[in-house]
Structure 1
Amino acid sequence: MQCYLERSLLLKKQKRDRYLRHWQGLSLIFLLMGVDEIIELHERTIKPLRNALNATGIFYFTWVILGFALVVLLAIAYRKFTLSLPPKTRNRFILAASLFLLGTLGIELIGGYYAYIYGKENLIYSLWVALEEGLEMGGILVFISALLAYLRSLSDSITIHFERSLSAPTNN
């Protein structure tokens, strides 16, 4: 994801695009999302927030409250940027975000309610988690596809270069 955004940033910088900062922000957002997946930062907020808010039911996984607040802030910050995109790109970006947010926040609310009532050690909860992760990955795939199509509209050619590191072991 990062390399596609980097290519877009380079093209936008060359053209002095007025939304360059938004593209840079998207790159940073995806970097932070990747870091969050690794260190599970949002999961670390659950217990302190749950205790502070005495949250139960759909807010059992209390990080979603912060998640919704962040989504609202980003929607406001990216409104003009989104509206400036070509219609096909804009619609694909909105579809991608909708799929991702349906999984990450929508299904998390349902899963939180289910976990609060029945616990997490059962097949049904595992199915909710699988649906959540599937929607998140589907959103990311739609976004990558939309971003590549957008890049194709900006440039005559896109070259992806794979290089083996000198320190990487060979399997000969």
Structure 2
Amino acid sequence: MSEGGLLAWKRQEIDVRRGPAGEYVNVHKPLPNPPRGMHWVLNEKTKEWSLEKKPEVVVAEVVDEDSKEQPPAFIEHEVTKTDTFAGICLRYKITPTELRQANGGFSGTNLFLAPQPLRIPNTKGQCQMAKAVPVGTQTRSQKMNRLMSGCRGISSSEAKCYLELNDWNLEEAIVNAKEDGF
């Protein structure tokens, strides 16, 4: 007798009681544009997409030394999923030790174990919290020029890439370029 499906334990049956394995009709369609101030986030465990509020973009500006107002001792920074310990140290030009001391001496580089919001020491008086001001309508070349002037050492092709990755949102492109050390 040859190897075959004559015996019951060698036969394969398709279980139709549970319905089809899956419908792939809508797989090729992208997610719709999120509402203003929101963005799509993928839950890695369940593989489901959900909407979350976008974090506020905060820009640090240089304070004049002749200014009579005292800069704040600390700046509060909300940690996002894309933040890294080294990236925050580079962005605010502080050492890892200064960052840990300002936040109760947490150990390691895992920002999710650090207190929220993260306190950034402002001992040099260089940074002050400021809200990002929305700029009027600009052409793509104007946005590229503003990005290149705001981030020294960035080339035009890199500026275009940052803007395209951020859907031509200048403020987000500047934040991402600064995170990468420009």
Q: TM-score range by the shorter chain?
A: under 0.3
**Greater helix content:** 1
**Greater strand content:** 2
Q: Larger relative contact order (C-alpha < 8 A, sep ≥ 6)? A: 1
**TM-score, with length taken from structure 2:** 0.22
**TM-score, with length taken from structure 1:** 0.23
